[in-house]
Amino acid sequence: MRIPFVPKNVMVQGDRFDFIQQYRGGGFMLIAGSIYWLLAFALTYVLNETILIKFYIGGGLLVPFLGILFYKLMKMKANPSQYSSLVGFASAITGCCFPVLLLVNELDSTKILPIICIINATHLIILCWIHLEYLYFIMVMMGVCLGMSFIYSIPSEYVHFICLIWGLISLIFGVIIHINSKIPLKGYDYQIIDKVNSI
């Protein structure tokens, strides 16, 4: 989906276009993330609270491995790119927030899931720019609003339902982005330009 505030006739560097096309807009990583959230929802009814909170905080480390697994299963291939490093840095935001989650756990463990949801959503905003895909921006807004709702409005006994909601949102958006990016940059009248070598 085209970003409304970006001109339709954008110029895209060749390596960036290749990255968007070869990684299919990054949809497979959203699908991998949805597995963590849906699994967290299911485990709510199985694990005791102490182990469950540890899974909430550390379970997100499974997502990169699930993403690699999906990447292999889908038989995707991509050239080395500076943009893959940028996506990696953006994903590291969630890891850097680990001390925040430990603090939240000490103050009020019922707020951990909404905070993780907000952190998870906000790291997607860089993908909006990288892939020129407005659905990422919509996801950011939905994730932040969802997290805030569970912090300030929805009773804490229902907090585990944020896993189900955000998991389904991630799954649906991941599938849509993966399908749409089969034809990259829909809605744009883009022009691919070669990278200019600087001296």
The answer to the question of residue 117 being in a domain is: yes
Asked if residue 194 belongs to a domain, the reply is: no
117-133: average pLDDT: 93
Q: How many domains does the chain have?
A: 1
Residue 176 has pLDDT above 90, yes or no: yes
Query: What's the pLDDT band for 54 if we cut at 50, 70, 90?
Result: very high
Encode 181-192: b = buried (16+ Cβ within 10 Å), e = exposed: beebbeebebee
Q: Report the helix count and the strand count for the chain, using DSSP H and E.
A: 10, 2
> Coil, strand, or helix at residue 77?
coil
Q: Binning pLDDT at 50, 70 and 90, where does residue 196 land?
A: low
Residue 167 has pLDDT above 70, yes or no: yes
Is position 196 within any domain?
A: no
Taking residues 80-84, report their average pLDDT. 87
Note down the domain range covering 125: 10-182
